[in-house]
Amino acid sequence: MIKVALVDDNPQVCTQLEKALTASAVKRGVNVDTAVYYSGESFCSSLDRGRNFDLLFMDIELEELNGIDAVDLVRNKYGNERMRIVFISAKAEYAGRLFEHDVMNFLVKPFTDEAVDEVLAKYVRVYHRERSRFSFKFKQSVHQVDSEDIMYFESEKRVVHLVTERDSYKFYDTLENVMNRLEDDRFCKVHQSYVVNLLYVKSYQADHLTLKNGKTIPVSRANREALAEKQLSFYFGGEKVEINEE
């Protein structure tokens, strides 16, 4: 089930989104559960009550609490980095100013049902997958972590550090074995000491990656071409990754 929030002060826009998403979900063979809000305040109030969403369609030009400020609250107050954001506006000039908000897509009003279908198709392809878990043994205990939660692995001699947004674990192994055991193609080896989850990459240069939490990870010359190919394959039609070759 994909939980979707629709936030727009125009009921007709919300109705169009609901109908287009329902049709797209049938086409994609997935289930969606939509919730409609006509203001940024009512949406954030639902988060205060414990509601959570996978995908958010957010109008920018809302009264009082606008869409950009509401999304900042999602990321900073509620600490939700997983919710995928699709901004909506009648002003196309907003598009180039939204990358800092970790946006999955931008729809310009009036938009078509086909455009909504493309957004859901991208979400399903990149984010909506069967959860896989990575298992490892340390000090006679077996631990499991959702693969989606893993930001990166770092190898230090025979010790591998598994790092998530909130925790860090260590176990004895090699990165080669880790890569062979991962059942998720979102991971890429970028250095002899690092394997990263592409979901958490914000930008990359020729010799390093920057993750969404600001962590910098080196990229070796031997892995640059493979990384570039995987980035293009993974993000084609998916989330934008900033590339700086300077």
What local confidence, expressed as pLDDT, does residue 193 receive?
95
> Which stretches in the chain have pLDDT values below 50?
237-246
Q: What is the pLDDT of residue 233?
A: 62
- Helix H, strand E, coil C: the string for 5-73 is EEECCCHHHHHHHHHHHHHHHHHHCCCEEEEEECCHHHHHHHHHCCCCCCEEEEECCCCCCCHHHHHHH
Query: pLDDT by residue (tens digit) across 136-152?
Result: 988 778 889 988 889 99
pTM to 2 decimal places: 0.64
C-alpha to C-alpha distance for 132 and 144, rounded to whole angstroms? 10
